[in-house]
């Protein structure tokens, strides 16, 4: 067999083989990523616990699992509906940016307070911090990593 | 949802639908992979060997094509070289031109040269392992010689027998489907088309010729079959159970003199003196070729049964063959009756091969061969092997069974009927000319009326020896007169020549 | 965007480079693969050139090292830019695109250079477009840190798209029976390519805004639940747009692509099969009407049903493509050794735009073709994955839509090549020759990369329109009961 043609053949096969090597490595990355995602899928970003609420709706002790964007207010289309006469229709928002929670006031009448300080601009929120809207007090808690299996 | 009110959970999360859409798309891509596999693996060989593959066309200019050989090894197609050292084809004998075809630089290819182009130029060898390994060598092209089942000797004889008439002779081995003779007249000079010096003049001349020598009548000529079609009608009736060997009709034979009236149309039949006033059974009706018996048999079978029976022999579609064929038909179709017949008149007429029924000589040869082969239809074939000219081995192209068209018992009834038609006392006047001396011969003649004043087409189909057939034949002579007078004796002489050749 | 920057400084100066080893490793491997491919192509060409009288023994050589180096260099620059700006974006998309693009470039090098190309030959022009495309891709991936500009101006983007479409309807030039090309001053391109991106942006905005209403609606016709009629309007509008593209532009592929992506996104947003069924019925009706009324549609369908009815005329392209696939077989002829020329031309007309997959199917075989299809699946998976982990609906639908555009387009043209569906003249993403197509697809990948960064700006606070309040109240009461 002519060595040149052997070489030609080897290069043809090598090209195909390398195509599959790339594909294999990429798919391995994808699978790892999916497995990691499956582990994290049920991990919560954070929780909001009702500490005090004069009206009882939501009752103290109620836990809200938070989405990346959570709005607080009296209107029913807020993520967290607070029945409190001193809370505005759309009162405040909690947002998860990058790796931290922020709270911002959405132009409420009575203001939003973090650990007793009034929120004027989006403010970094730590776990355990107290958020007060109207007469209702809430606490930001770390989310749980539940045992959700895929 | 317990104590934890989860915002957003009110609506299904986007994630799940996204996964479903992704799965749907993955399925769609799996379909793509399936389609790619279908074209690149399952259909690959078939498509690559198609003559319109540009790879074959590109190679055709420079490749020294393989030889085409007859069954005894006689060369049918060879190559020579022009002044520039480029190869061109020469053909040994005009009588095989419509079978072997031609390969011309200017006008492309035809016939076997076209069908087996990819093998003759060496793009493929017919052997999967060789094809794969051949890609390891500098010149991957490896022309093959094409072995055919044709007998040049018999082919020449057939063309000589047809003489100045236009017509066709098909002879094949009913057991294997190997075609021995596939003659069409008039013949033409294929070498003149292939030779670059004469190519243009020869080809334009052939195209303008009113006798249409380029038309391979044996495979692509469509003719009214007349009484030879009665074998198909009988087979269809036997298949459905509508008729049996002992079926007799009360109208028969007295009705012969006045004819049979179907929906106001009178089917006439010449009176057969020997039958007196006997009612005929299947064998006798075939022996005397009684149109009225067959009209009644066809009506009893029904349009659907007749069409299905004919389709089992290959009617209604092009034939699986090494050359392009025309599709034979029982009816034009589109009518309200089952099978597409317009009315009972057409069905009755079609039952003895008139009306809109048309058949190629090859198709009728296959009918005879099927009856001869206990009802089993073999794929007709010309190419028997692809051979490496350098002695590297031969790929045999085996026979293909196309299925049981009718049961062995039914086939035996038809053998009896066709034997009676040639050997029987009643039929002497019609088909006895086909008798091969010393051999029990079976057959059926046909006289296809074309309307008008011209002579009818002269047909014969048959086989021999009737008790253990080794050869089946179909003969058509355009405007050749009565089947018993022209086609039957011709067929008899051809079969005799065959037995002389093989030594009985 | 500026407000966020003020709070969370991300200025270039303050950012430490963040290495992207996985992407780099994959890119290096892609480069190696392409070099081997080029070596295979170059040696095959040397062999073919040495055949015939007086030929010298062939030697192994690279096809065109310069072009390959420039191409890979462009991708490395994008990679470096993302490293330097510390983007935490997806690391798989870029190598996958580079491999597909590189294979396409090898094919362009191997085809006759005079097939097309305004700047030098076929492959040189394609390389030039690739440089622009990587600039677009990299630029978006590095710069974009907020999607507000897409989100807030969704109707403007839609209007721009419609305007482009109408301009093409009126001023478009007809090429090969399809009116696709629009020339404005020195710039000429195929607006439908850009339109598909604008469409996805608009749909993401529209669907995420109206998702609750579309998902929970009450109009029933027999067993089918429909949204309130006003919300059906976009569906009908999409259908009308698709049909008008078929009628006026004669561009079946784009129409099919738009409608399929629209339906898929509708399903993603609402999880309701009834929409998909209604959409498919609308599609079937549109297809039937088009088949009955328009000759160009009828011809396409008839060719699809039986290309061998006229293998030298109408069916030529499809028949030749299928034969090319067949010639390739399992492992192909090798790069450069396939595609027997007919009169000095490749055997399939429009091979560089509509049939590169047939060419690659022949030269790389079934094995290579499956790898290429696998790469598209990888891109789709990445896009949908970005969608699934997106922080809000707009971004999720946007990412899913962008990935679907590429996936569905690759499917439509591949299926057309393989006679699964009627052939439509759209490009193979990243492989086909053509500037508009490359730039639009680079735009898509750039956007996907940008929004895959978990550090990208959070979505703005949703301010639901007033008309949604009623539905929200009903929903809330239902949830309240279960609490």
Average pLDDT over residues C445-469: 68
Cis peptide before B253 (omega within 30 of 0): yes
Confidence of residue C466 (pLDDT cuts 50, 70, 90): very low
User: In the prediction, which pLDDT does C12 show?
Assistant: 45
Answer yes or no: do C388 and B19 touch at CB < 8 A: yes
| Higher-pLDDT residue of C164, B503 | C164
More confident residue, A109 or C102: C102
Residue of C nearest to A77 (CA): C472
The per-residue pLDDT for A8 is 85
**Which chain C residues are closer than 8 Å to B25 by Cβ?**
377, 380, 404, 407-408, 411
Establish how many alpha carbons lie within 13 A of residue B496's alpha carbon, considering only the half-sphere containing its beta carbon: 13
Interface with C, mutate which of A26, A27, A104 (most C CBs under 10 A):
A26
Q: Which other chains touch chain B, taking contact as 3+ CB pairs less than 8 Å apart?
A: A, C
Q: In A, which residues are within 8 Å of C331 by CB distance?
A: 12-13, 16
Chains that touch C (3 or more CB pairs under 8 A): A, B
Determine, for residues B4 and A64 on separate chains, whether the beta-carbon distance falls below 8 Å.
yes
Query: Which residues in chain C have Cβ-Cβ distances shorter than 8 Å to A96?
Result: 391, 458
Q: Are C93 and C140 in contact (CB under 8 A)?
A: no
pLDDT at C11 over 50: no
Beta carbons of B10 and C475 less than 8 Å apart: yes
Q: Could A98 and C389 be called an inter-chain contact, meaning their C-beta atoms sit closer than 8 Å?
A: no
How far, rounded to the nearest angstrom, does the alpha carbon of residue B211 sit from its chain's CA centroid? 22
**What six digits make up the tokens of C135?**
């600039």
Angle at B389 between CA B386 and CA B395, to 5 degrees: 25
pLDDT-flagged residues of chain B (< 50) = 1-12
Q: Provide the β-strand partners of residue A16.
A: none
Contacts of B5 in chain A (CB under 8 A): 58, 62, 64-65, 80
Contacts of A42 (CB under 8 A, 6+ apart): A145, A146, A147, A148
Within 8 A by CB and 6+ apart from B405, the residues are B235, B239, B312, B313, B370, B375, B376, B377
Sort out which chain C residues have CB atoms less than 8 A from B45's CB and list them.
326
Q: Which helix (H) or strand (E) holds B475?
A: strand B471-477
pLDDT digits (tens, 9 = 90+) for A23-45: 999 999 999 888 887 776 556 77
Q: Helices then strands (H, E): number in chain B?
A: 20, 17
- The b-or-e profile of C95-116 (16+ CB within 10 A means b, else e) is bbbbbbbbbbbbbbbbbeeebb
SS3 B189: coil
Q: Do A8 and C43 touch (CB under 8 A)?
A: yes
- Convert B197-243 into a string of H (helix), E (strand) and C (coil): CCHHHHHHHHHHCCCCCCCCHHHHCCECCHHHHHHHHHHHHHHHCCC
Is B151 catalytic? The answer is no
Tell me the average pLDDT of chain C: 83
DSSP state of C10: -
User: Tell me, what's the pLDDT at C97?
Assistant: 97
Residue A117 host element (H or E): strand A117-118
| Peptide bond preceding A58 in cis form (omega within 30 of 0) | yes
- Partners of residue B136 in chain A, C-beta under 8 Å: 1, 5-6, 9
* C151: pLDDT strictly greater than 50: yes
**Which entry of B184, B227, B351, B432 is annotated as an active-site residue?**
B227
Q: What's the rounded Cα separation, in Å, for the pair B181 and B170? A: 5
Interface of A with B (CB under 8 A): 1-2, 5-6, 9, 47, 58, 61-67, 70, 79-80
- pTM for this structure? 0.81
User: Across the beta sheet with C187-189, what order do the strands follow?
Assistant: C173-175, C178-184, C187-189
Residue C138 or residue B433, greater confidence: C138
pLDDT value, residue B122 = 84
pLDDT value of position B5: 36
* Tokens read off for C82: 């993302």
DSSP B40: I
Rg (CA), chain B: 28
Sign, CA torsion B312/B313/B318/B320: positive
Q: Please tell me the distance from the alpha carbon of residue C191 to that of residue C180, in angstroms, as a whole number.
A: 7
**How large is the average pLDDT for residues C209-222?**
68
Question: CB C461 to CB A7 under 8 A?
Answer: no
The pLDDT value given to residue C478: 38
Cβ contact C377–B29 (<8 Å)? yes
- Specify the pLDDT at position C437: 92
Closest residue of C to B85, CA-based?
A: C53
Give the model's confidence band at C89: pLDDT under 50 very low, under 70 low, under 90 confident, else very high.
confident
b (16+ CB within 10 A) / e for B312-346: bbbbbeebebbbebbebbbbeeebebebbbbebbb
What pLDDT score does B223 carry?
A: 94
Distances (CA, A) of B320 to B179, B324, C236: 13, 9, 50
Distance CA C277, CA C269 (A): 15
pLDDT, mean over chain A: 83
3-class SS of residue A136: strand
Query: CA of C9 to nearest chain A CA: how many angstroms apart?
Result: 13
Q: List Cβ neighbours of B349 (8 Å cut-off, separation of 6 or more).
A: B265, B267, B295, B355
Which of C 435-454 lie inside 8 A of A, CB atoms?
A: 454
**Which residue in chain C is spatially nearest to A25 when comparing CA positions?**
C26
Q: What is the pLDDT of residue A70?
A: 82
- The confidence score (pLDDT) of residue C22 equals 92
| Burial category of C460 from C-beta neighbours within 10 Å (exposed 0-12, middle 13-18, buried 19 and up) | middle
Cβ contact (<8 Å) for B40 and C216?
no
- Integer-rounded Cα Rg, in Å, for chain A is 26
Question: What is the interface size between A and B, counted as CB pairs within 8 Å?
Answer: 34
Please say whether the beta carbons of C365 and C346 come within 8 A: no
Q: Which pLDDT score is estimated for C114?
A: 84
The greatest distance separating any two alpha carbons of chain A, rounded to the nearest whole angstrom, comes to 92
Q: What are C106-122's pLDDT values in tens digits? A: 999 999 888 876 677 88
Least confident of B175-179, B392-396, C101-105, C433-437: B392-396
pLDDT at C312: 84
Query: Complex ipTM, two decimals?
Result: 0.89
Interface test with C, best of B5, B11, B36, B38 (most C CBs within 10 A): B36
Best CA proximity match to C47, nearest among B137, B199, A19 = B137
Cross-chain Cβ contact A22/C95 below 8 Å: yes
Distance of CA B51 to the CA centre of its chain: 20
Q: Does A10 touch chain C (CB under 8 A)?
A: no
């Amino acid at each position: 067999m002519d060595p040149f043609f052997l070489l030609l053949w080897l290069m043809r096969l090598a090209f195909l083989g390398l195509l599959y090597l790339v594909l294999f490595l990429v798919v391995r990355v994808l699978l790892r990523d999916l497995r990691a995602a499956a582990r994290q899928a049920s991990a919560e970003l954070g929780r909001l616990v009702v500490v005090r609420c004069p009206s009882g709706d939501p009752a103290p002790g109620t836990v809200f699992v938070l989405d990346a964007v959570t709005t607080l207010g009296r209107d029913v289309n807020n993520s967290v509906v607070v029945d409190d006469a001193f809370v505005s229709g759309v009162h405040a928002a909690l947002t998860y940016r990058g790796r931290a929670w922020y709270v911002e006031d959405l132009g409420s009448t009575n203001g939003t307070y973090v650990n007793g300080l009034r929120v004027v601009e989006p403010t970094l929120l730590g776990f355990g911090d107290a958020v007060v809207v109207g007469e209702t007090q809430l606490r930001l808690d770390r989310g749980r990593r539940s045992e959700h299996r895929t | 949802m317990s104590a934890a009110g989860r915002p957003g959970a009110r609506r299904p999360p986007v994630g799940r639908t996204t996964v479903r859409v992704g799965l749907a798309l993955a399925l769609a891509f799996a379909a793509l992979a399936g389609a790619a596999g279908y074209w690149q693996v399952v259909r690959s060989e078939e498509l690559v060997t198609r003559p319109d593959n540009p790879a074959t066309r590109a190679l055709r200019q420079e490749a020294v094509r393989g030889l085409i050989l007859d069954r005894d090894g006689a060369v049918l197609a060879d190559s020579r070289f022009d002044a520039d050292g480029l190869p061109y084809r020469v053909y040994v004998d005009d009588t095989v031109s419509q079978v072997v075809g031609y390969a011309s630089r200017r006008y492309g290819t035809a016939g076997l040269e076209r069908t087996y182009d990819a093998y003759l130029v060496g793009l493929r060898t017919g052997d999967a392992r060789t094809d794969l390994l051949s890609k390891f060598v500098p010149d991957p092209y490896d022309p093959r010689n094409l072995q055919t089942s044709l007998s040049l000797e018999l082919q020449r004889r057939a063309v000589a027998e047809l003489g100045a008439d236009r017509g066709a002779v098909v002879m094949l081995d009913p057991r294997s489907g190997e075609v021995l003779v596939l003659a069409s007249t008039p013949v033409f000079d294929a070498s003149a088309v292939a030779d670059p010096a004469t190519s243009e003049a020869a080809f334009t001349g052939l195209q303008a010729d009113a006798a249409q020598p380029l038309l391979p009548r044996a495979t692509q000529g469509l003719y009214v079959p007349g009484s030879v079609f009665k074998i198909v009608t009988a087979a269809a009736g036997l298949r459905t159970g509508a008729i049996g060997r002992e079926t007799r009709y009360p109208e028969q034979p007295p009705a012969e003199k006045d004819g049979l009236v179907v929906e106001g149309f009178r089917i006439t039949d010449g009176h057969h003196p020997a039958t007196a006033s006997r009612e005929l059974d299947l064998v006798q009706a075939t022996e005397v070729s009684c149109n009225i018996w067959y009209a009644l048999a066809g009506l009893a079978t029904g349009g659907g049964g007749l069409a299905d029976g004919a389709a089992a022999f290959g009617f209604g579609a092009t034939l699986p063959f090494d050359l392009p064929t025309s599709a034979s038909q029982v009816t034009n179709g589109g009518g309200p009756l089952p099978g597409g017949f317009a009315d009972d008149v057409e069905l009755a007429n079609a039952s003895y091969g008139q009306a809109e029924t048309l058949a190629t000589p090859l198709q009728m040869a296959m009918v005879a061969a099927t009856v001869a082969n206990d009802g089993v239809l073999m794929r007709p074939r010309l190419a028997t092997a692809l051979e490496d000219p350098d002695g590297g081995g031969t790929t045999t192209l085996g026979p293909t069974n196309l299925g049981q068209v009718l049961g062995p018992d039914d086939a035996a009834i038809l053998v009896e009927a066709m034997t009676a038609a040639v050997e029987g006392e009643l039929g002497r006047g019609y088909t006895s000319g086909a008798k091969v001396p010393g051999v029990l011969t079976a057959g059926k003649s046909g006289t296809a009326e074309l309307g008008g004043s011209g002579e009818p087409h002269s047909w014969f189909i048959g086989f021999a020896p009737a008790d253990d057939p080794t050869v089946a034949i179909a003969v058509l002579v355009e405007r050749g007169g009565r089947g018993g007078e022209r086609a039957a004796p011709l067929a008899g002489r051809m079969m005799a020549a065959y037995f002389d050749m093989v030594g009985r | 965007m500026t407000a966020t920057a003020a709070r969370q400084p991300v200025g270039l100066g303050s950012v430490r480079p963040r290495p992207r080893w996985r992407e780099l490793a994959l890119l290096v491997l892609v480069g190696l693969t392409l070099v081997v491919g080029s070596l295979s192509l170059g040696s095959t060409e040397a062999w073919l050139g040495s055949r015939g009288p007086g030929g010298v023994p062939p030697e192994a050589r690279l096809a065109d090292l310069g072009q390959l180096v420039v191409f890979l260099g462009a991708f490395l620059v994008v990679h470096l830019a993302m490293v330097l700006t510390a983007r935490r974006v997806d690391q798989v998309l870029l190598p996958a695109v580079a491999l597909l693009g590189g294979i396409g470039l090898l094919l362009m090098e191997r085809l006759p250079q005079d097939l097309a190309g305004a700047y030098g030959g076929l492959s040189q022009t394609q390389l030039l477009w690739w440089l622009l495309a990587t600039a677009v891709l990299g630029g978006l991936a590095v710069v974009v840190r907020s999607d507000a500009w897409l989100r807030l101006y969704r109707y403007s983007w839609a209007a721009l798209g419609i305007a482009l479409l109408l301009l093409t309807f009126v001023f478009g030039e007809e090429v090969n029976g399809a009116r696709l090309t629009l020339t404005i001053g020195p710039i000429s391109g195929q607006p439908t390519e850009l339109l598909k991106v604008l469409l996805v942006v608009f749909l993401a905005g529209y669907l995420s805004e109206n998702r609750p209403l579309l998902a929970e609606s009450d109009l029933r016709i027999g067993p089918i639940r429909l949204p309130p009629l006003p919300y059906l309007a976009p569906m009908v509008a999409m259908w009308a747009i698709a049909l008008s593209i078929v009628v006026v532009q004669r561009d079946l592929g784009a129409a099919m692509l738009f409608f399929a992506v629209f339906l898929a996104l509708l399903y993603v947003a609402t999880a309701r099969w009834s929409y998909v069924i209604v959409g498919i019925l609308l599609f079937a009706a549109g297809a039937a009407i088009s088949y009955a009324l328009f000759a160009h549609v009828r011809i396409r369908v008839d060719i699809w049903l039986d290309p061998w009815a006229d293998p030298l005329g109408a069916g030529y392209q499809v028949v030749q493509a299928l034969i090319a696939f067949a010639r390739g077989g399992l492992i192909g002829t090798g790069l450069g050794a396939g595609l027997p020329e007919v009169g000095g031309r490749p055997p399939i007309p429009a091979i560089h735009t509509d049939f590169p997959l047939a060419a690659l199917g022949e030269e790389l075989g079934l094995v290579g073709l499956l790898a290429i299809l696998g790469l598209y699946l990888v891109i789709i998976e990445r896009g949908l994955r970005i969608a699934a982990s997106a922080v809000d609906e707009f971004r999720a639908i946007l990412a899913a839509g962008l990935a679907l555009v590429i996936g569905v387009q690759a499917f439509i043209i591949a299926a057309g090549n393989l006679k699964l569906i009627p052939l439509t003249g759209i490009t193979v993403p990243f492989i086909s020759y053509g500037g508009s197509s490359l730039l639009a697809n680079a735009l898509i990948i750039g956007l996907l990369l940008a929004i895959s960064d978990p550090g990208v700006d959070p979505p703005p606070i949703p301010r639901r329109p007033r008309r949604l309040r009623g539905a929200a109240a009903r929903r809330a009461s239902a949830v309240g009961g279960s609490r």
